[in-house]
Amino acid sequence: MGKLDAFDITSYAYKTVKKTPIYTDVLIPKDVPEGPRPILIRLHGGFLITGSRKQEDWFGLWVSQLASTNGAIFIQPDYRLMPEATGVEILSDIDDFYTWFTTELPGVLAKVAPKVTADYDRVVVVGESAGGYLSLQFALDHKDKLRAAISIYPMTDMRDPWYTQDFPKKMAGAPLHPESLIDEYLAAKTEDTVVVDDISEKRVGLMFSIVQHGKFLDLIGPQDERLFLDDRVKKGETFPPLFVIHGETDSSVPFQGTDDLLKLAKEKDAGLEVCFTHPDVEHGFDSNYSLDNPLLAEGVKFVVEKWLR
């Protein structure tokens, strides 16, 4: 049984870049009650280099169950991928998705589910890995429009030596990938290349090579301060209630950056509500976890109380 079998799915281009459409899926639970429905937005992972809204293996079963069991509209956008796109451009895609979400979703629902409306007062964002990073960015951007944000083993400190230095990194058991993969890829790409929704073996290999050889910041483009979560928090920007789950033994994304960011956020905002769960688990541990898994119980309860009250 697929993670999205409980939904009817339609897809829409929320923007176009160089004739390349960038899509979002709108998923409506098949047994959705009539009337205003809460909303769960999911941003996919892949180190901002690979990934797809359609890749079910890369997110937890419990996430889709959180939407379906609560009769929530579940929305999953894609975004451009680096190194063809810069980090700033990726964030601009998320900005444009939000504009589409606030202006176009009502018209979509009127066509595909006319008895359902979007309850913009009950919105939660969730993301895993790079999507966890984007969910935190989204939360800072739209704090007053969100009931909560869920960030799952997020990338949080892109200045960490993990992303900037070349040393052996066996990420979730993956082999070391040669640096030549990066050079060959960059030599072949053109200025007009736009990449969205790519989970090919070649793309995944490029992702591993970029991280393992410490080239992440070299390829992310202009390093606007908006890219760095800790800079935004130090400036005084604040989060809505957060549920964060990150394994202390994660071999793909350093746990310490998440721990440090949350300590900083609570230092700057004493009233911040955080449910931080950090079990002894690996990256991607929750792929097949159901909503009732004991490791998720505290965080799910925390989110549901904020989201649906």
Q: What is the CATH number of the domain that holds 286?
A: 3.40.50.1820
Residue 203 located in a structural domain: no
pLDDT at 192: 87
Backbone angles phi, psi at 86, to 5 degrees: -85, 165
The pLDDT assigned to 82 comes to 96
What integer pLDDT is reported at residue 69 of this predicted model?
A: 97
Low-confidence ranges of the chain (pLDDT < 50): none
Q: Is 181 domain-assigned?
A: no
Give a yes or no: residue 113 inside a domain.
Answer: yes
Domain annotation covers residue 128: yes
Give me the pLDDT at residue 182, please.
96
Amino acid 189: pLDDT: 85
The residue range of the domain holding 48 is: 7-160+223-307
pLDDT digits (tens, 9 = 90+) for 106-143: 999 999 999 999 999 999 999 999 999 999 999 999 99
Give the number of domains in the chain: 1
Please, are residues 98 and 134 in contact by the beta-carbon 8 Å criterion? no
Sheet-wide strand order for 242-245? 7-17, 20-29, 73-77, 35-43, 116-128, 148-152, 242-245, 274-277
- Give the model's pLDDT for residue 172: 87
